[in-house]
């Protein structure tokens, strides 16, 4: 009821609640719940209705916390005329604190021990392989390089598992020893198309596992990924 109606009711010793039907609790609720009807399924426990109600109660000079978080135990204690009890240290709080501590330690370890580089490979599927003019077979791959440091890095790429295989790319630069070098900007990723070709006299199966290895020669960190080389 309104402030005036509540005052009249109290003047005649009639019961009157503190709610003045301002509807502010409903207006601020993101799900449209009328909390005056009690806890409901749509309530997301955001507490916006508590803040709105406390602001209105302060303006009309009534006690705040007309809407509040509470426990069944304290509700029963107040009905008996007893004070509220708040126990900070309980088995549940100890368990939650332990779980948070363990989770924090795991996340900290993962952050400290994480690799500063990463590499993944995706085989080109259309086509799986193509014959070369020299009589060999060529496969295409897309390699993604990730640099997690705040400075640019050069990765040296080499392939193992195929005797006499040669790598070419329009993004990576060739080295004299047949390897490729890839430049990756700070905190960035780079996708590089890589082609692997075998000589005409190579003995190949339908599927041969090969290993790509990228190495940062400056700090010695390396990453390897395995894929397959397909042939007729």
The answer to whether the predicted template modeling score (pTM) of the entire model surpasses 0.85 is: no
| Per-domain residue ranges of the chain | 3-79, 117-230
Would the CA dihedral through 185, 190, 195, 196 be positive or negative? positive
pLDDT digits 0-9 by tens, 5-36: 767 776 777 767 788 888 999 999 999 999 98
pLDDT digits 0-9 by tens, 99-125: 999 999 999 998 888 888 899 999 998
Q: Is 156 helix (H, G, I), strand (E, B) or coil?
A: strand
Please report which residue ranges of 91-217 form alpha helices under DSSP H.
91-113
pLDDT digits 0-9 by tens, 202-219: 888 899 999 999 999 888
Of the candidates 175, 224, 178, 213, the one whose C-alpha atom is nearest the C-alpha of residue 199 is 178
User: Is 1 a residue whose pLDDT tops 80?
Assistant: no
The mean pLDDT of the chain is 89
DSSP bridge pairs for 158: 213
User: Is 3 a residue whose pLDDT tops 70?
Assistant: no
The answer to whether 161 and 183 are in contact (CB under 8 A) is no
CATH architecture of 117-230: Sandwich (2.60)
pLDDT digits 0-9 by tens, 31-72: 999 998 888 899 999 999 999 999 999 998 888 888 988 888
């Amino acid at each position: 009821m309104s402030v005036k109606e509540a005052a009249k009711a109290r003047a005649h010793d009639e019961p009157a609640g503190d709610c003045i039907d301002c509807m502010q609790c409903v207006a601020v609720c993101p799900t449209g719940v009328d909390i005056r009807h009690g806890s409901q399924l749509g309530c997301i426990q955001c507490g916006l209705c508590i803040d709105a109600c406390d602001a209105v109660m302060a303006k009309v000079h009534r006690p705040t916390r007309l809407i509040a978080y509470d426990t069944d135990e304290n509700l029963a204690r107040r009905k008996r005329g007893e004070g509220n009890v708040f126990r900070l240290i309980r088995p549940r709080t100890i368990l939650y604190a332990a779980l948070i501590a363990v989770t924090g330690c795991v996340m900290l370890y993962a952050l400290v021990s994480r690799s500063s580089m990463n590499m993944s490979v995706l085989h080109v599927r259309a086509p799986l392989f193509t014959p070369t003019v020299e009589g060999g077979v060529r496969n295409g791959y897309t390699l993604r390089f990730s640099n997690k440091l705040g400075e640019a890095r050069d990765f040296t790429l080499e392939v193992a598992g195929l005797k006499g295989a040669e790598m070419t790319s329009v993004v990576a630069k060739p080295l004299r020893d047949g390897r490729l070098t890839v430049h990756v900007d700070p905190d960035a990723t780079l996708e590089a198309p890589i082609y692997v070709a075998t000589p005409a006299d190579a003995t190949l199966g339908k599927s041969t596992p090969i290993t790509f290895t990228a190495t940062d020669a400056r700090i010695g960190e390396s990453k390897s990924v395995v894929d397959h080389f397909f042939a007729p």
